[in-house]
Amino acid sequence: MLVSGSEILSKANIENYGVGAFNFVNYEMLSTIFEAADKKSSPIIVQASEGAIKYMGIDMAVGMVKILANRYPHIPVALHLDHGTSFESCIKAIRAGFTSVMIDASHHPFAENLHETKRVVEVAHNAGVSVEAELGRLMGIEDNISVDEKDACLVNPKEAEEFVRESNVDFLAPAIGTSHGAFKFKGEPKLDFERLIEVKKLTKIPLVLHGASAIPDNVREAFLNTGGDLKGSKGVPFDFLKEAVRGGINKINTDTDLRIAFMSQVRKVANENASEFDLRKFFTPAKDFMKEVIAERMEILGSAGKI
Ligand code: G3H
Ligand code: 13P
Ligand code: ZN
């Protein structure tokens, strides 16, 4: 059933587990996320970036989610706009049927971020739609980073408290050292969990971890085995994901792992059978492997069995 983001994340916040927010760009990714949720009895958030919406068409993105939500009525699902870059983009998504939106004005100064977020919250809440905002910059932190440098790019807990109070936003993504894509850390993985705990203590709302792909060994290997190149890739280790959930993260944004898992199998079929051109022969194993990755993630985050 299609529900608001808050409906899913308030429960996760109270019961202290994490829900995967999985990105999709087509039917294959989207249907696989639902199939994994069905297998694991897990709530899900499915999210589309502005780029993904441009690729699919907003009517198609919403239409596919509605059809799958009807096909699996027992699965609570929220449809979320990932990294909405403007008020207008959020309004478009709300009008089209999204049940949750992110207004990402984190690159602006605090006051402007707050102003933009407030504008979106006002409209969204009237429509029963939840809102996510972000504070700080997404970037990996190195061992030798100074306290001043850290403070300059990561979330400031006091600011987070003020931001949540003033904006009435539903979920907050605090920058604690993750980044998007397959190359998150140069040295040993490192996240600022103390900062996370402080933000949770002061805000108490569901928190969001962007850049949460783990690039587990089996996924990396599957891609490398087909001649793929992921030199220097590093994700957020499973233990860190668990610690993040313990520290108050409830929405775990995951895209890169799904892309690598899916494409590893497309590459495999292409490598093993040069004369194959039936799309289904590529996409069936790609979906199967992606489903395994998502199902395992639901266990790690604690959302498995929560419906
Ligand atoms: O946060 C980024 C997501 O992985 C979406 O990426 O803009 O390439 O669709 P995209
Ligand atoms: P990954 O690149 O780690 O999958 O992060 C995705 C994300 O944060 C989408 O908003
Ligand atoms: Zn993100």
Predicted confidence (pLDDT) per residue in 65-124, tens digit: 999 999 999 999 999 999 999 999 999 999 999 999 999 999 999 999 999 999 999 999
Atom of ligand 2 nearest to the CA of 138: 8
254 CA closest ligand 2 atom index: 4
Cα dihedral sign for 266, 269, 272, 278? negative
Of 24, 57, 76, 61, give the one whose Cα is nearest residue 290: 24
Measured in Å, residue 270 CA sits from the centre of ligand 3 at: 30
Ligand found nearest the CA of 54:
1
The average pLDDT across 143-158 equals: 87
Q: Is the dihedral of CA 41, 80, 243, 184 positive or negative?
A: positive
Whether the Cβ atoms of residue 44 and residue 118 lie closer than 8 Å to each other: no
Tokens of 138: 């997404």
Q: What is the pTM of this model?
A: 0.97
Measured in angstroms, how far is the CA atom of residue 273 from the centroid of ligand 1? 31
Which of 54, 55, 82 is the pocket-test mutation for ligand 1 (most atoms within 8 Å of CB)?
82
Name the residue at shortest CA distance from atom 4 of ligand 1. 255
For the chain, what is the mean pLDDT? 97
- Tell me, in angstroms, the distance from the centre of ligand 2 to residue 28's CA: 18
Position 188 scores a pLDDT of 94
Report which protein residue has its CA nearest ligand 1's atom 1: 180
Q: Which of 82, 104, 170, 255 is catalytic?
A: 82
pLDDT higher than 80, residue 168: yes
Q: Has 170 been annotated as catalytic?
A: no
Ligand 1 environment, Cβ below 6 A? 23, 49, 51-52, 82-83, 180, 255
pLDDT tens for 51-72 read 999 999 999 999 999 999 999 9
Q: What is the pLDDT of residues 187-223, one digit of tens each?
A: 999 999 999 999 999 999 999 999 999 999 999 999 9
**Could you tell me the distance, in angstroms and rounded to a whole number, from the CA of residue 54 to the centre of ligand 1?**
12
Antiparallel, parallel or unpaired: β 171-174 and 19-23: unpaired
For ligand 1, atom 6, which residue shows the shortest CA distance? 49
Q: How far is CA 297 from CA 30, 215, 235, in A?
A: 16, 11, 13
Query: Tokens 């890169």 sit at which residue?
Result: 256
Query: Measuring from each residue's beta carbon to the nearest atom of ligand 2, which residues come in under 6 Å?
Result: 23, 82-83, 180-181, 210-213, 253-256
Q: What percent of the chain has pLDDT over 70?
A: 100
| Cβ-Cβ contacts under 8 Å for 147 (sequence gap 6 or more) | none
Q: State the pLDDT at residue 146.
A: 82
What confidence tier does 142 reach under pLDDT thresholds 50, 70, 90? confident
The atom number, within ligand 2, closest to the CA of 255 reads 4
How confident is residue 143, by pLDDT bands cut at 50, 70 and 90?
Answer: confident
Give residue 86 CA to ligand 2 midpoint distance, Å. 19
pLDDT at 262: 98
* Domains of the chain listed by start with CATH number: 5-301 (3.20.20.70)
Bridge partners (DSSP) listed for residue 103: 84, 133
DSSP codes joined into one string, 231-293: TT-B---HHHHHHHHHTTEEEEEE-HHHHHHHHHHHHHHHHH-TT---HHHHHHHHHHHHHHH
286 pLDDT band, cuts 50/70/90, is: very high
Q: Tokens for 250? A: 């409830």
| Closest approach atom of ligand 1 to CA 55 | 9
pLDDT at 300 over 90: yes
Average pLDDT over residues 23-39: 99
Report d(CA 216, CA 236) in Å as an integer. Answer: 9
- pLDDT for residue 144 is more than 90: no
- Specify the 3-state DSSP secondary structure of 230: coil
Section 268-295 average pLDDT? 98
- Position 52 scores a pLDDT of 98
**How big is the CA angle at 45 (ends 125 and 184), to the nearest 5 degrees?**
110
